[in-house]
């Protein structure tokens, strides 16, 4: 196993790029880790770098996820390649890529794989954090190339580029496609991007599917997505990982008969489109009524002046769980108007018992809302 520490420098990303190229050709498996992540030492220990790696593994994506328990997703050269090839087929052919998300997550690492298979040299957004002027500077090299120009972002980054209105937005407008992943793209954000002339493609996927495997609601070629009886989504296809590092029981539980059972609920719509409803464990049982947190968030996000919202259930002696919301607003927003919108759309049980406002939602990983932190704040 080759461990690559990423510190925000171009040298570190270049080292990872070379290591991934060797792994795709049958070399040592690569474990990318963030040097700035306080959890990285624990992740490294859990990955047991001195223990032989499971066969046919090119990359191990280590994460503590929402549970806090370290796990390493084992991804083969074939899965990485299948994902990259299918992505290019969906976007419009191989092209030039800008890496603008952390490369120790699968979404960033796949940018390196796609560029490698396209025979192009990726540009890197270096440093820590995300600044729109740095994005514009890094994008310049890609936008100067002929042929398709692509990048991958998380919704939070896109919002900052749209808010920027300057060089960052101009750079975003120059890409033939921007793949949005890691978190759901709200209808309001989709509309803002369209009005600004930014071509986005929302995606759904995870480390276990070698990055996004559903683009704008349509599975990539070779990928099947279907809900089970409880609306929990399962996925099959050549993009699947083959298990978890040193966790045969977890592997057997999650990967069965060529299918990966996700933690998300969803629907299969007419025409084969997939609608993701949110995580299965984000259903709130309040007074005996089951409420989808994602559905409440969707209603809140559609209200004028609301930029983002996170809805969770907190312990309640009266309701068992109470629906509460943490909202990011632009200017003054009346909580009563928010409650009225939810009540009109989803009914009284889904209406938040309490709404608090914040400047930004806490995040974990590449743009994912830290629901545990929101719940801790709203439970106090």
| Residue whose structure tokens are 């914040």 | 358
pLDDT of residue 149: 97
* Residue 280 resides in a domain: no
pLDDT score for 137? 95
Whether residues 233 and 299 share a domain: the answer is: no
Residues 77 and 218 in one domain: yes
Q: Note whether residue 244 is domain-resident.
A: yes
Same domain, 271 and 298: no
Contact between 291 and 284 (Cβ < 8 Å) = yes
Domain boundary among 210, 243, 275: 275
Residue-level pLDDT at 54: 97
Query: Do 270 and 339 belong to one domain?
Result: no
Q: Same domain, yes or no, for 329 and 221?
A: no
Q: Which residue range(s) make up the domain with 371? A: 287-379
Say what the alpha-carbon torsion angle 74, 79, 85, 91 is, to the nearest 10 degrees.
-60
Same-domain check for residues 131 and 251: yes
Mean pLDDT, 10 residues at a time, the chain of 380 residues: 94 96 96 89 93 97 72 97 97 96 93 96 86 94 94 90 91 96 84 95 95 96 93 96 95 94 90 86 82 88 89 85 91 91 90 92 78 86
**What pLDDT, on the 0 to 100 scale, is given for residue 365?**
67
Q: Indicate which CATH number applies to the domain containing 312.
A: 3.30.300.30
**pLDDT for res 285:** 85
- Write down the pLDDT at residue 366: 67
For residue 85, tell me if it sits in a domain. Answer: yes
What is the structure's pLDDT at 331? 82
One domain for residues 33 and 127 = yes
Q: Which two tokens stand for residue 33?
A: 């880790």
Same domain, 184 and 263: yes
Owner of token pair 């590092």? 245
The answer as to whether 48 is a domain residue is yes
> Do 309 and 240 sit in the same domain of this protein?
no
Last residue of a domain, one of 253, 275, 297: 275
Domain presence at residue 92: yes
- Rounded to an integer, what distance in angstroms lies between the CA atom of residue 37 and that of residue 171? 29
Residue 131 lies in a domain: yes
**270/350 same-domain check:** no
- The answer to whether the predicted template modeling score (pTM) of the entire model surpasses 0.85 is no
Residue 203 counted as domain residue? yes
328 in any annotated domain: yes
What CATH number is given to the structural domain containing 79? 3.40.50.12780
Q: How many domains does the chain have?
A: 2
Report the relative pairing of strands 255-256 and 71-75 from DSSP bridges.
Answer: unpaired
Does residue 356 share a domain with residue 266?
no
321 plus 241 within the same structural domain: no
């Amino acid at each position: 196993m080759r461990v690559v520490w990423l510190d925000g420098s171009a040298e570190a990303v270049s080292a990872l790029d070379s290591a991934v190229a060797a792994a795709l050709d049958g070399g040592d498996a690569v474990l990318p880790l963030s040097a700035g992540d306080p959890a990285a030492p624990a992740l490294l220990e859990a990955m047991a770098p001195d223990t032989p790696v499971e066969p046919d593994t090119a990359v191990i994506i280590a994460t503590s996820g929402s549970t806090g328990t370290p796990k390493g997703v084992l991804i083969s050269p074939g899965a990485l390649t299948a994902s990259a090839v299918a992505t290019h087929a969906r976007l419009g052919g191989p092209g030039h890529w800008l890496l603008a998300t952390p490369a120790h997550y699968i979404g960033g690492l796949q940018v390196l794989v796609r560029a490698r298979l396209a025979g192009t040299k990726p540009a890197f957004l270096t440093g820590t954090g995300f600044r729109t002027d740095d994005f514009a500077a890094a994008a310049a090299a890609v936008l100067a190339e002929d042929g398709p120009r692509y990048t991958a972002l998380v919704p939070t980054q896109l919002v900052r580029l749209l808010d920027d209105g300057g060089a960052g937005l101009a750079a975003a407008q120059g890409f033939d496609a921007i793949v949005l992943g890691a978190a759901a793209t709200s209808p309001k954000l989709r509309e803002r991007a369209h009005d600004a002339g930014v071509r986005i493609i929302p995606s759904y996927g995870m480390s276990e599917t070698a990055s996004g495997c559903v683009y704008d609601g349509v599975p990539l070629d070779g990928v099947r997505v279907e809900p089970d009886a409880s609306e929990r989504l399962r996925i099959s296809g050549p993009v699947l990982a083959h298990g978890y590092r040193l966790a045969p029981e977890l592997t057997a539980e999650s990967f069965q008969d060529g299918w990966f059972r996700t933690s998300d609920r969803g629907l299969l719509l007419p025409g084969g489109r997939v609608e993701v409803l949110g995580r299965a464990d984000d259903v709130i049982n309040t007074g005996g009524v089951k409420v989808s947190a994602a559905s409440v968030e969707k209603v809140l996000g559609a209200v004028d002046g609301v930029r983002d919202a996170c809805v969770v259930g907190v312990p309640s002696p009266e309701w068992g769980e109470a629906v509460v919301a943490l909202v990011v607003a632009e200017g003054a927003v009346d909580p009563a108007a928010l409650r009225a919108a939810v009540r009109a759309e989803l009914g009284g049980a889904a209406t938040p018992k309490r709404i608090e406002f914040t400047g930004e939602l806490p995040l974990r990983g590449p743009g994912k809302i830290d629901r545990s932190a929101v719940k801790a704040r709203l439970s106090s």
